[in-house]
Amino acid sequence: MALSKDCYQPGETNINRYEAQLRRESAIINLLISVALFVFLKTISANALWYLLLFIPLFLSSLGFIQSKNKFCANFALRGLQNAARVIDAPSHVVSERARTEDRKRASRLLIYAGLTALVSTLVILFFMA
C-alpha cells in the first residue's frame, strides 16, 4: 500500500502542501525576476556575458518548481529537517541517520536537476543573443 504524500517519507516527501505552495510562489517570483533581468539587459544592449547572470534566478525558479512538484525541500533535507505534517507547523528534525542519508541523496539529485535546467536555459539565451 502506497503512503500518502501528506506525510514524511525519507527520500520522497519532506514538506506539506503549504510548504510546497511557498516554493511554487518563490519559483514564480524568480521566473519574473529572470524575465525582468532579460528585458533590462536587452534594453541596455548589454554584452552577452552579462546574460550569465540569468543563471541565478533561473536556478532558483527551477529549484522552486521542482521542490513544489515533488513536495521535497533540498534545504530541509541537507539540514536534516522535515515539515510534512498536514498541519502548518515548524520543521522538525529527522532522527534516523538512514532517513537523513536518503534525504541528502534526493536533495543532491534535485539540485543537480535544477542546475542543469538553469544552465541549459541560460545557454539557450546566450546562443540566441550572440
Amino acid at 105: K
Whether residue 5 is contained in a domain is answered as no
Q: Please report, in tens digits, the pLDDT of each residue of the chain (130 residues total).
A: 344 556 889 999 999 999 999 999 999 999 999 999 999 999 999 999 999 999 999 999 999 999 999 999 999 999 999 998 877 678 889 989 999 999 999 999 999 999 999 999 999 999 987 5
Alpha-carbon gap, residue 27 to 64, rounded angstroms? 4
**Quick check: 5 and 71 in contact, CB under 8 A?**
yes
Full domain range(s) for residue 86: 17-129
85 in a domain, yes or no? yes
Q: Does residue 101 lie within any of the structural domains?
A: yes
Burial 51-69 (b: 16+ CB within 10 A, else e): bebbbebbbbbbbbbbbbe
Cell numbers describing residue 77: 533535507
* Residue 49 covered by a domain: yes
Yes or no: say if 76 and 14 are a contact pair by the CB < 8 Å rule. yes
As a whole number of angstroms, the longest Cα–Cα distance in the chain is 57
Name residue 23's amino acid.
R
Q: Which of 88, 89, 120, 84 is nearest to 10 (CA)?
A: 84
Number of compact structural domains in the chain: 1
